[in-house]
């Protein structure tokens, strides 16, 4: 997989201008950050739900 990524990066370098490469890289980084935030939101929601459920059982 690592080798495939390098080949694709080199191909991208040949086909796209520097600005297009930068834009594509920025877009991909934004996708990864969105996924990270979504995962964090899901974990936070699960923790809040668990805390709310635990609080209801304790009363």
Dump pLDDT digits (tens) for 10-44. Answer: 887 777 777 888 888 999 999 999 999 999 999 99
pLDDT band at 1 (very low <50, low <70, confident <90, very high): low
* H, E, C per residue of 1-45: CHHHHHHHHHHHHHHCCHHHHHHHHHHHHHHHHHHHHHHHHHHHH
**With 60 as the cut, is the pLDDT of residue 59 above it?**
no
Measured between alpha carbons, how far is 59 from 47 in angstroms, rounded to an integer?
19
**With 90 as the cut, is the pLDDT of residue 9 above it?**
no
Place of tokens 């080798």: 3
Specify whether the CB–CB gap between 21 and 13 falls below 8 A. yes
How confident is the model at residue 5, as a pLDDT? 83
């Amino acid at each position: 997989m690592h080798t495939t990524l390098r080949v694709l990066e080199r191909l991208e370098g040949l086909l796209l201008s520097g600005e297009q490469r930068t834009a594509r890289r920025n877009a991909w980084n934004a996708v990864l950050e969105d996924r990270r935030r979504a995962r964090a939101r899901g974990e936070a929601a699960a923790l809040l739900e668990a805390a709310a459920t635990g609080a209801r059982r304790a009363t």
